[in-house]
Structure 1
Amino acid sequence: MAAHKRLHDGFEQDPDQPEKKRMERSVSFSTVIREAMVMKQVQSVFLVLEPLLRRVVQEEIQAGLVRSPRYIERSSPETPPAAEPPALRLAFLFPPALPIFTGSKIEDVHGEPLQVILVDAVTGSPCGALPQFMRVELVPLFGDFPPDGREDWTTGDFARGVVKERAGKRPLLTGDVGLTMRDGRAVVNDLQFTDNSSWVRCRKFRIGARVMPGSYEGGRVAEAMTDAFNVRDHRGELYRKHYPPALTDDVWRLEKIGKEGAFHRKLRQNGVETVQEFVRMLTVRPEMLRAIMGDGMTDRMWEVTTSHAKTCGAGDKVYAYAGHGATVYVNSLCQLVRLEFAGVECAAQQLSRDQKAYVHRLYVEAFEQRHSLQEAEPLPAAMLLHASSSSNSLPMLQNAAPAAPPPLPATPLWFPGNQELDLQIVDELSGGQGNFGFQMFQSNFG
């Protein structure tokens, strides 16, 4: 019977049943693993979104507070008295120079440190010294403060317009953020932003100045703020143009010439790597420089680039190049600043046609030998040229002798088409704004 029972049980048992159970156990385990992975991914998403959502909510709440009405109506029928307007206010003497980059020192439009001054709130005239010192704090503000362009904000409104640094970041404004005002003036020697302005709602900042609480016992002093501006990442400063450009600046600092661009490569291949070399060639060989730039630079682009280049200062150095009986003096930009024949200073319009052509040849040779010119003593102011007020006359040397210059040595000269040559010489005292360099004007004899 026992054997029969075992046989009967074995006969009714499904041989595939253990496999099904194993499959069910396997499916259940994979489902658990999959659900656990989904839960982990959801938690990871929440961890990433949480700081972003917190920041968005914080900005919206802060924006709502800034735009909230200045006064809230009270249920009491009594209206509180209006606050007395301040008699004094802070102001920035000059606006900051733009553009502003992170980590770069902020200066005013004249290249000097920013200054905060105390002025009369009504007239805007500077105030004299106060009987006590005043502590002033510099803070970053949202670029869209004050809301609706109001100019009568309160101290609380101003405080709500201050920008807080991002989580995990350094203070947004660093340097001389705490100043002591003496004699109605405080100088900001060091100030910089540590973060760009792209992450705030309006994408712009302002610099604000306010009196620190408890540092002044008089009435309220209204706060100061600059115009709104963008703060760019310091990496953008590497490609910034300079106004005006310096002699030693790379040539791509000029307008319309991009760093490692087509124009930059062409100039570099022809030995024009600095602004000084660009202006030298522009002064003496403009047609050669124009050919180097090629047809890719339009006439409008050429005008913009050369106008920017001409704002470069020449400096105080003077170089001499001597020929047979004549010496030309040029500055660092190869602009002619003085002319001598046999040691006698001469006025340009006193030269004969042969002498003008000879001076021009010396001038071109000086340009070709510019890297080996001998530096001369700086010229006294009395020996520099003064530009004439008339555009039709040539500049004269102050001490030029009225007598004609001595004759040239026997030097064969050739003049195409029997043309008259006219010279112009740069006026150093006027900053070179009148006559740019040494130019040869040709006109047929009539």
Structure 2
Amino acid sequence: MSQKREFEEAKGGASEDKRRRFKSVVQEVMRLQTVKHFLEPVLEPLIRKVVKEEVELALGKHLAGIKWICEKETHPLESRNLQLKFLNNLSLPVFTSARIEGDEGQAIRLGLIDSSTGQIVSSSPASSAKLEIFVVEGDFDSDSDWTTEDIRNNIVREREGKKPLLNGNVFAVLNDGIGVMDEISFTDNSSWTRSRKFRLGVRMVDQFDFVKIREAITESFVVRDHRGELYKKHHPPSLFDEVWRLEKIGKDGAFHKRLNCSNINTVKDFLTHFHLNTSKLRQVLGTGMSSKMWEITLDHARSCVLDSSVHVYQAPGFQKKTAVVFNVVAQVLGLLVDFQYIPAEKLSEIEKALILSLSLYIFDLVSLLYSIYSQVYINFLIVSDFRLKPR
């Protein structure tokens, strides 16, 4: 009996163990199903989002690398050294409160230059950058291998209690590698600095990766107070400038007074007398004007721009079909013979002699050029933009 009981108890214990294991398996399956049911809608979007962000980040880095390579190939100048450069010279002298100009009254032009080729950079991102104009000490060694720090240490600031040294628009913008410095002037002279001179400098405001841009520096120059502008020589002079505007002729000086006494008041008067009777003009100026001074004055006077007026002069006693052709300052251009124009350089010896014989009459034009043509025996015509056809 005891053995049978023991067997049944052992059999019942085994069955109990199976039931517990089955129950455990069923509970595990139900737990997993529950986790999957509830967490899958939450985890899947999170996982997808993280994967998407990582892929986009990696792809962005890859595309950025490709873009940099393409830009480097498209704009190879970006990897080179560039420099700013003044494309024209300053018009001297410079006065306070007066617009700083370039040669022949033009605006100061700046260029972005490729140091290796000397060509203007027109397609680089730097070719449309913003520039800043500043003042540098006149004794700064612009020929040395200077650095940006060297320039920074030599920038000139305004004196205490004074206005900023530069007035106007101290910023410019490049357009296809070229900029214009316009409407800018000095508010103070340069006499108080250690060198008594200034230089103008230009530097980039914008910065660019992989690009080094060297600043531009002008030659040194003196800045005078605007009171001196009253005595400034004009380059080039105007025909109607007072004669003391010419080089070597000082306002109210000896030469100026001598010329006024001879009714030579303007640059036009000076040139007219020069072409009609050079020796007499030299006598008016006197021995105080040396040959070197004379050449300087004459070169300055000749640099003025003449208008297009053409004058035809016929003296009494000569054939009606023969006349001398000259410009507004009585410089002989040629002869008009039988309505055919002969340029001065093609005149024969006989024709040159004819002009020489007419010179005594032509000298009378000094007064006629500025008055009504009232002399009885002179036929004097002014023809604007008259086109002469050589024979």
Whether these two folds match at TM > 0.5 is yes
Shift of 1:319: 2.0
The 5 A counterparts of 1:121-270 are: 121-131=115-125, 133-146=128-141, 150-154=144-148, 156-212=149-205, 214=206, 216=208, 219-270=211-262
**Following the alignment from structure 1 to structure 2, what is the Cα–Cα distance between the partners of residues 164 and 327?**
65
Shift of 1:111: 3.3
* Aligned position for 1:107: 101
CA contact (8 A) 2:199 2:220 kept: yes
Change in Cα spacing, 1:102 to 1:331, as seen in structure 2 (3 Å) is same
* Count of aligned pairs: 297
Shift of 1:116: 1.7
The 5 A counterparts of 1:277-426 are: 277-324=269-316, 325=320, 326-346=322-342, 348-349=347-348, 351=350, 355-356=354-355, 358-371=357-370, 372=372, 374-380=381-387, 383=389, 398-399=390-391
Deviations 1:100-138 (A, max 9, x none): 111222222353211221112344332122236311111
**Following the alignment from structure 1 to structure 2, what is the Cα–Cα distance between the partners of residues 86 and 158?**
21
Letter in 1 for 2:123: A
Change in Cα spacing, 1:109 to 1:345, as seen in structure 2 (3 Å) is closer
Q: List gaps (5 residues or longer) in structure 2.
A: 1-78, 373-379
Change in Cα spacing, 1:224 to 1:238, as seen in structure 2 (3 Å) is same
Equivalent position SS for 2:125: coil
Equivalent position SS for 2:323: strand
**Following the alignment from structure 1 to structure 2, what is the Cα–Cα distance between the partners of residues 117 and 364?**
51
Shift of 1:270: 1.6
Shift of 1:86: 7.0
Letter in 1 for 2:336: E
Deviations 1:389-414 (A, max 9, x none): xxxxxxxxx31xxxxxxxxxxxxxxx
Range that drifts further, 244-253 or 307-316: 307-316
Equivalent position SS for 2:365: helix
Shift of 1:217: 5.0
CA contact (8 A) 1:205 1:228 kept: yes
Change in Cα spacing, 1:121 to 1:355, as seen in structure 2 (3 Å) is closer
**Following the alignment from structure 2 to structure 1, what is the Cα–Cα distance between the partners of residues 224 and 254?**
26
Shift of 1:99: 1.8
Change in Cα spacing, 1:218 to 1:110, as seen in structure 2 (3 Å) is farther
Change in Cα spacing, 1:336 to 1:238, as seen in structure 2 (3 Å) is same
**Greater Rg, structure 1 or structure 2?**
2
Q: Which has the higher helix share?
A: 2
CA contact (8 A) 1:129 1:182 kept: no
Structure with the bigger RCO (C-alpha within 8 Å, sep 6+) is 2
Letter in 2 for 1:245: P
* Aligned position for 1:416: none
Change in Cα spacing, 1:379 to 1:298, as seen in structure 2 (3 Å) is same
CA contact (8 A) 2:240 2:266 kept: yes
Shift of 1:144: 2.3
Change in Cα spacing, 1:163 to 1:343, as seen in structure 2 (3 Å) is same
Change in Cα spacing, 1:130 to 1:236, as seen in structure 2 (3 Å) is same
TM-score using structure 1 length: 0.60
| Structure 2 counterpart of 1:271, from 258, 263, 269 | 263
**Following the alignment from structure 2 to structure 1, what is the Cα–Cα distance between the partners of residues 330 and 232?**
26
Percent identical among aligned pairs is 35
CA contact (8 A) 1:197 1:204 kept: yes
Shift of 1:374: 3.6
Letter in 1 for 2:134: V
**Following the alignment from structure 2 to structure 1, what is the Cα–Cα distance between the partners of residues 202 and 287?**
51
**Following the alignment from structure 2 to structure 1, what is the Cα–Cα distance between the partners of residues 216 and 352?**
65
**Following the alignment from structure 1 to structure 2, what is the Cα–Cα distance between the partners of residues 270 and 332?**
20
Range that drifts further, 193-202 or 290-299: 290-299
Deviations 1:64-117 (A, max 9, x none): xxxxxxxxxxxxxxxxxxxxx972221211232222111222222353211221
Change in Cα spacing, 1:232 to 1:206, as seen in structure 2 (3 Å) is same
Equivalent position SS for 1:115: strand
Equivalent position SS for 1:125: coil
CA contact (8 A) 2:104 2:235 kept: no
**Following the alignment from structure 1 to structure 2, what is the Cα–Cα distance between the partners of residues 145 and 307?**
33
Shift of 1:219: 3.2
TM-score using structure 2 length: 0.68
